[in-house]
Amino acid sequence: MSKASNANAAEVHNQVMMMLGHEIFDPDIGKCVLVDHAFIVAGGEITKAERNWLGSKLDATKRSQILFMDREDILNLFVVTSLPLPAGAVPATVAADDDDLHF
């Protein structure tokens, strides 16, 4: 991991620790409760190295409470549920009769 991505992963680690360690108010039962699971959602790719680094920093209990979702997982949800992809997610198509070289 580069220095920048290592800093980002460290920041995610700090936020996960805060999320899982602090109580939140549940209005359905009227009490403060601990968070059950935390989603780490990224618009880009969460690399295996980043997942492993974060997993090595957490104990087994906290590690089982973390769920990762990156760009590929989000796009797969659209495919599985048969929803049309947003316009920005579909690459621009090139016309088949466009044989001219652009300089």
Q: What is the pLDDT of residue 83?
A: 80
pTM of the model: 0.63
Task: Map out the domains of the chain as residue ranges.
Answer: 3-83
Q: What is the pLDDT of residue 60?
A: 86
The rounded distance, in Å, linking the Cα atoms of 55 and 19 is: 15
Q: Is the separation of the CB atoms in 71 and 45 below 8 Å? A: yes
Q: What's at 78, amino acid-wise?
A: F
Matching residue, tokens 């974060």:
54
What is the residue-level pLDDT of the chain in tens, covering all 103 positions?
556 656 788 888 898 888 888 899 999 999 999 988 889 898 888 889 888 988 898 888 888 889 999 999 988 888 898 888 777 777 777 666 666 666 5
In angstroms, how far is CA 37 from the centroid of its own chain? 14
> What count of other Cβ atoms lies within 10 Å of the Cβ of residue 58?
16
The rounded distance, in Å, linking the Cα atoms of 69 and 42 is: 6
Q: What is the pLDDT of residue 78?
A: 84
